[in-house]
Amino acid sequence: MFFSIDADGDVPIYEQIVRQVKLAVADGILVGGQMVPSVRQLAGELAINSNTIARAYQELQSDRVLESLRGRGMIVRRDAIKRCTKARNSLVADGVRRALADALSGGMTAEELRELFEAELERQSAMAEQSKLASGNGAS
Amino acid sequence: MFFSIDADGDVPIYEQIVRQVKLAVADGILVGGQMVPSVRQLAGELAINSNTIARAYQELQSDRVLESLRGRGMIVRRDAIKRCTKARNSLVADGVRRALADALSGGMTAEELRELFEAELERQSAMAEQSKLASGNGAS
DNA sequence: AGTGGTGTACCATGACACGGGTACACCGAT
DNA sequence: ATCGGTGTACCCGTGTCATGGTACACCACT
C-alpha cells in the first residue's frame, strides 16, 4: 500500500525503500511519532525478504530518520522532517546537476534543456494532481 | 587525455567510457571516420586494464557507434552522431524525469524546482564557457 | 618473411553488493 | 510463564565488476 518497488531495476531494493520513506517524511505523509510497518508486514506486502526491509530500516535509523523501540517497532523521529527535506533537496539537486552535466557535455543547448524541463515538469505536475484527485475520491 | 574516470564511483568504469564516448560524438568532438585510441593505449593512459576498455568498445560496437577494422583499430561510424544525439536526449530526459519525480514526490514546489534548475544551469553554463576559453588559450 | 601493432576471445581470481534464510534477544499481552 | 510480535545479528549463495593472463587472427610496414 505504501511503496512501489521495482525489483528488476538497477537501484537496490533497500535503497528504494530508504528513498521513498525519506520523501514521504519530507512530503508530510509520514509524520513524527508515527509507526512504520513492521519489517515482516512490509516484506509480506511487497513480496520481499524481511532482511531487505530491515536493512533499509537500519540505514534510516543511521540517518536519524527512524527510531527503534525494541520489541515494539519503529517510529518516525520528531525532528526527521528537517533532515528529510534537506536530503530531498540534495537528492534532486544532484539529479539535476548530473542531467545538466550530461546535457552540456553532449552539446545540448540551454534552450533545448529549458524546453525539456518545462515539458516534463508540466507533465508530471498534471499526473501528480490527477493522482491526488483520485485519492480524494476514494474517501467519498 | 580524452576521458576522466572515477574508479571509486558507483557506476562501472566501462559504462563511464561508453557514456563519455557517446556524449563526445553527440557534441561533435568525435566525428565520423575518426579513429579512437586503441584499447591498450587508452588502458595505459587511464591506468585501467585493457579488458575493461575492450568491454566498453564492444558495447559501443553493439550500439552501432564504433566500427571495428580488424588489425587496424576502431573508428566512429559515419551515422553515429544521429544515434548519439538521440541517446543523449533520452539520457538527460530520463535524468530530468527521475529528479522531477523525486522532487514532486517529496512535496517540492514547482517554483522551487524552476529556481534550482535555473541556478544550476547558469552555474554549469558558466563553467563550460570558461573551460572552452581555457582550451582555446592552449592553442595560442 | 618478419615484426609490431590492432581487436577478440577465453579463463581464473578477488572483491563487493544484494537478497534470502535462519536463529537470537527483546517486548507486550494473555 | 507462555506466545506472538518486534528488531537484529549472523551465514551463505549469486551475480557483477575489475583485473590479470594467455592466446589467436588480422593488418601495415620494413
Structural domains in chain A? 13-79 (1.10.10.10), 81-137 (no CATH)
C-alpha cell read off for A29? 505523509
pLDDT at B11 over 50: yes
C-alpha cell read off for A18? 530508504
Q: What is the mean pLDDT of residues A105-134?
A: 91
pLDDT at A126 over 80: yes
Mean pLDDT (chain B, rounded)? 93
pLDDT at A105 over 90: yes
For A12 and C17, how far is CA from C1' in angstroms? 9
For A68 and C26, how far is CA from C1' in angstroms? 12
Mean pLDDT (chain A, rounded)? 92
Residue predicted with more confidence, B97 or B2: B97
How many residues does the structure list for chain B? 140
Could you tell me which of A40, A39, A47 has the C-alpha nearest to residue A21? A39
Q: What is the mean pLDDT of residues B65-70?
A: 95
The answer to whether the Cβ–Cβ distance between B92 and A105 falls below 8 Å is no
In angstroms, the Cα distances linking A23 to A13, B35, B78, B104 are: 15, 46, 45, 9
Lowest-pLDDT range, A13-22, A96-105, B57-66, B122-131?
B122-131
Q: Whose grid coordinates read 558507483?
A: B10
pLDDT confidence of residue B61? 97
Minimal-distance CA residue of chain A relative to B21: A106
pLDDT confidence of residue B135? 64
Contacts of A16 in chain B (CB under 8 A): none
In angstroms, the Cα distances linking B129 to A63, B26, B136 are: 38, 18, 11
Could you tell me which of B55, B52, B80, B47 has the C-alpha nearest to residue B66? B80
Contacts of B108 in chain A (CB under 8 A): 88-89, 92
Counted across chains A and B, CB pairs separated by less than 8 A come out at 115
For B18 and C4, how far is CA from C1' in angstroms? 28
pLDDT in tens, A46-90: 999 999 999 999 999 999 999 999 899 999 999 999 999 999 999
Burial class (CB in 10 A: 0-12, 13-18, 19+), B93: middle
Q: What is the mean pLDDT of residues B117-122?
A: 97
Q: What is the mean pLDDT of residues B70-75?
A: 94
DSSP code of residue A35:
B
| Angle, vertex CA B78, rays to CA A105 and CA B6, nearest 5 | 30
pLDDT at B137 over 70: no
* Runs of H (alpha helix) within A39-109: 39-46, 50-62, 80-105
Which amino acid, one-letter code, is at B83? Answer: R
Lowest-pLDDT range, A19-33, A118-132, B124-138?
B124-138
What residues contact A78, with CB distance under 8 A and at least 6 apart?
Answer: A32, A33
CB B92, CB B86: distance < 8 Å? no
pLDDT band at A140; cut points 50, 70, 90: very low
CB A57, CB A36: distance < 8 Å? yes
What residues contact B61, with CB distance under 8 A and at least 6 apart?
Answer: B67, B68, B74
Burial class (CB in 10 A: 0-12, 13-18, 19+), A109: exposed
pLDDT band at A36; cut points 50, 70, 90: very high
Q: Whose grid coordinates read 585493457?
A: B50
The CA distance from B88 to B100, in Å, is 18
Residue predicted with more confidence, A131 or A96: A96
The answer to whether the Cβ–Cβ distance between B121 and A108 falls below 8 Å is no
